[in-house]
Amino acid sequence: MTGEEMEGGAGSAAPLRIRLQPGFEHPKETTQRRVNSAAQKAIGADTTQRISQQLLNQ
């Protein structure tokens, strides 16, 4: 949502305009990215450990 304008106002006659700065990221998006990254790392570590264990058991 960089460089976009959001309009609207809570019952206001004049529209509210917010100009988002380049590089702006909503905190919820940042949190979701961190959660996804941590989940991928955990899944990757678990998968690697499981494969290693299977190879050792052969």
E strand map for 1-58: 5-7, 17-19
Sequence-ordered list of residues with C-beta below 8 angstroms from that of 4, at least 6 positions apart, any chain: 20
pLDDT, position 10: 56
Distance of CA 44 to the CA centre of its chain: 18
Q: Tens digits of per-residue pLDDT, 42-54? A: 888 778 778 778 8
Q: Tens digits of per-residue pLDDT, 12-53? A: 566 777 777 778 778 888 888 888 888 888 888 778 778 778
Higher confidence at residue 55 or residue 2?
55
pLDDT, position 2: 45
Query: Residue 32: which of 40, 44, 20 has the closest Cα?
Result: 40
